[in-house]
Amino acid sequence: MSKLGMLTSASALTLCCASFAVAQTPWLTTAEQAAKEAELIKDASVALSKAQELSPRPEIEAAIRAVNEVAGKLAQSPAFVKLAQSAKSAPAPSIAPAPATTAAAPAASPQATPTPVASSPKSATDSLSGLMKDSKQWVSPTGDYANVRHSSLKQITTENAGKLQLAWQFSTGVLRGHEGAPLVVGDVMYLHTPFPNIVYALDLKDPDHKILWKYEPKQDPSVVPVMCCDTVNRGLAYGDGKILLAQADTTLVALDAKTGKLAWSVKNGDPAKGQTSTAAPHVFKDKVLVGIAGGEFGVRGHITAYNLSDGKLAWRGYSMGPDADTLMDPEKTTHLGKAVGKDSGISTWQGDQWQTGGGTTWGWYSYDPELNLIYYGSGNPSTWNPKQRPGDNRWSMTVWARDLDTGKAKWVYQMTPHDEWDYDGINEMILADQQIGGASRKTLVHFDRNGFGYTLDRVTGELLVAEKFDPAVNWATKVDMDKASATYGRPLVVDKYSTEKNGEDVNTQGVCPAALGVKDQQPASYDAATGLFLVPTNHVCMDYEPFRVSYTAGQPYVGATLEMFPAGRDKGETHTGNFIAWDAKTGKIVWSNKEQFSVWGGATSTDGGITFYGTLEGYLKAVDTKTGKELYKYKTPSGIIGNVITYETGGKQYVAVLSGVGGWAGIGLAAGLSKSNEGLGAVGNYASLANYTQLGGVLSVFALPNN
């Protein structure tokens, strides 16, 4: 027998012993028994994990599930609880990493402090769900699981919004792009910064909003050059008394919300290979979800779930690769209603190109507790030169629905097969129940970089609506909605704007939208009362010239030169942004407000009939949700690329937003770039931004006057 076979057999034998012992013992009655069982299960878990890493097999997968079930029972036993209470370092039953992925579990930081007994998933879920229902707080990066970014607060209305005043401000001490938004949990605001990713806890009860604690990680500054499109960070997450931060260097940390002390940390990637973190983590049930950035460095994208209690790896799902990596079932996972087939994450790639295939996951995530499904999008395939990577490049540019507990993919939908323009599919997935075709549907609404607004059935992945949300979009005529067609669900590409057909070293001109899309990561809001989605957008086109490039780990792997310009340039128009209201049931724009620059800040709507958003030159704006009429604006110290939130403390409603120009649109100012094609083509289009704002890093908070 081979060494691997012996290891596998030994693991299975150890598991059997552990399972038999727990099953046959008249349930554990002493702490000593519990300690012995915990050690036995730990040995089985370690051995099984090693076996699965070396040679994934169905029997090992089944064994891991069984040992995890045994460990769960043990953790809830009265004897183990007694053991945990009587000893500071109780040997917690070890949970094996989820099978079916070839990725090894990232090693926990030596500073990590595992919790002896994991908190109950149900209690953690109930606690966070309850906080989300309290409109006085803002406890998740997007407000709630569904990403609707809507608040039931209504002190500020269409009648009095014009009376808003600046209430207070706080300087973050960092001068780069400030994306994301603060959290408000109870009477404490948690605030983050771009690199070096400082976290502040501010006392909202104190009239001076004093700093309760400050966390400042020590990161290697060499991570900065491998961060695409500025050193941004999109925010924090909260759960089980912890504040979660995904640092630029891919370290995921859990901080005690009361003290700021490190509870645990884990490394999610390797910056030396181009892997970085810019997205906010998300807490769903008993897990923390975090993605990876680096598509411009050939990073193969993945989403990873860690246990909220101790930071241990639960599962990891890749965007491309064999089924064991993508966590796809060839018969049960579907794409537009059809089984994806065996190893679909490899079959549309040439050779081993999938290993540097991109599809990174740096956007926003949503969760449906009833379906137990998480939803998110994957980004561009690497390289940006489509000639170098024949095929559909699955599953880049894809909407994913995965089971939260296992990571298994239920369905996928690829929006831009064989991307030729860098139209990442990472934008938020908004979950809303809507009446479509006379029937109530559980929908998912997504505004993609490619310029199409999609409405899908989030249960099945059925495509319901796909329409342009900027009339300037010209790279495709439409998305084929004919289910009988061979191209069903695919965009019908216009040859004139195909960088693939025009070829390498040819400048394809006048492509709309530009690579930064009709909308990038800046999140939209959904107002159920009006049925409208309130969407911050870009109105920008580009010239795109691909060229051949070779892959070297940790080095840029782009392969294209871009120039961006206003979409209406040929008509003499200069504005590069719109703020729109969208009907996702019909795929139509209800109203649209022109903005001088791209609207790069996230929107929030309220029951007061108001929608708030920020502009790139620095205005916080309040508009009537129904009509778009502007009711209020205030110029903050720097350009706004952050997301607006609203909360209540001391009986008063407040509106808060970070200002600090940067991000892709503001990279010229943030990084001191001047050539028009620098910043992946964005610098020239936004050169005039310097006439209206400068670098900053300030939280601005607004309220109605006391009288």
Q: Are 401 and 552 in contact (CB under 8 A)?
A: no
The share of the chain scoring above pLDDT 90, in percent, equals: 81
Question: Which residue in 422, 448, 470, 520 is the catalytic one?
Answer: 422
SS3 110: coil
- The model's confidence at residue 93, banded by pLDDT at 50, 70 and 90, is very low
Q: Quick check: 440 pLDDT over 90? A: yes
pLDDT > 80? residue 118: no
Q: Which helix (H) or strand (E) holds 46?
A: helix 31-54
The per-residue pLDDT for range 253-269, each reduced to its tens digit, is 999 999 999 999 999 99
Predicted confidence (pLDDT) per residue in 390-437, tens digit = 999 999 999 999 999 999 999 999 999 999 999 999 999 999 999 998
The predicted pLDDT at position 49 comes to 53
User: What is the arithmetic mean of pLDDT over 600-612?
Assistant: 98
Q: Above 50 in pLDDT, residue 115?
A: no
DSSP-based three-state secondary structure for 168:
strand
Judge whether 348 and 419 are in contact, CB under 8 Å: no
Q: What's the start-to-end Cα distance of the chain, in Å?
A: 83
Q: Is the CB of residue 198 less than 8 Å from the CB of residue 251?
A: no
pLDDT(53) > 70: no
- pLDDT, residue 707, reads 77
Q: What is the DSSP string of 265-288?
A: EEE---GGGT-B--SPPEEETTEE
Average pLDDT, the chain: 88
Between these two residues, 64 and 199, which has the higher pLDDT value? 199
Strands 334-335 and 409-414: parallel
**Distance from C-alpha of 120 to C-alpha of 336, rounded to nearest angstrom:** 36
| H helix intervals, 230-382 | 323-326, 344-347
Residue 551 has pLDDT above 90, yes or no: yes
CB of 202 closer than 8 Å to CB of 191? yes
Starting from the edge strand earliest in sequence, which strands make up the sheet with 165-171, in order? 165-171, 698-703, 652-659, 645-649
Count the neighbouring beta carbons within 10 Å of the beta carbon of residue 222: 11
Dihedral (Cα; 79, 80, 83, 85), 10-degree rounding: -100
> Residue 110 above 90 pLDDT?
no
The mean per-residue pLDDT over the stretch 657-677 comes to 95
Q: Which two tokens stand for residue 322?
A: 């064999």
Question: Is 98 a residue whose pLDDT tops 60?
Answer: no
Pick the range with the lowest mean pLDDT from 19-33, 45-59, 508-522, 606-620.
Answer: 19-33
List, edge to edge, every strand of the sheet that includes 302-307. Answer: 282-284, 287-290, 302-307, 313-318
Give the closest residue to 531 by CA, choosing from 629, 463, 415, 443.
Answer: 443
pLDDT of residue 5: 41
Q: pLDDT category, 61, cuts 50, 70, 90?
A: low
Q: Estimate to the nearest angstrom the gap between the alpha carbon of 487 and the chain centroid.
A: 29
β-pairing verdict for 150-151 and 604-606: parallel
Question: Is 525's pLDDT higher than 50?
Answer: yes
Whether the per-residue pLDDT at 67 is higher than 70: the answer is: no
pLDDT at 164: 98
Asked if residue 672 lies in contact with residue 210, where contact means CB atoms within 8 angstroms, the answer is no
Query: Does the pLDDT value for residue 38 go beyond 80?
Result: no
Residue 163 near residue 302, CB atoms below 8 Å: no
Give pLDDT, residue 127: 87
- Mean pLDDT score, 455-472: 98
CA 663 to chain centre: 16
Average pLDDT of the segment spanning 233-247: 98
pLDDT in the model for residue 23: 38
Work out the pLDDT band at 122, boundaries 50, 70, 90. Answer: very low
Tell me the per-residue pLDDT of 165-187, one tens digit each, with 9 for 90 and over: 999 999 999 999 999 999 999 99
pTM here?
Answer: 0.84
Per the annotation, the verdict on 422 as an active-site residue is yes
Cβ atoms of 660 and 698 within 8 Å: the answer is: yes
Alpha-carbon radius of gyration of the chain: 25
Residue 515 Cα distances to 14, 543, 680, angstroms: 53, 10, 9
Q: Nearest to residue 580, comparing CAs of 539, 533, 515?
A: 533
CA distance to 31, 520, 551, 586, per residue, from 453 (Å):
57, 13, 33, 10
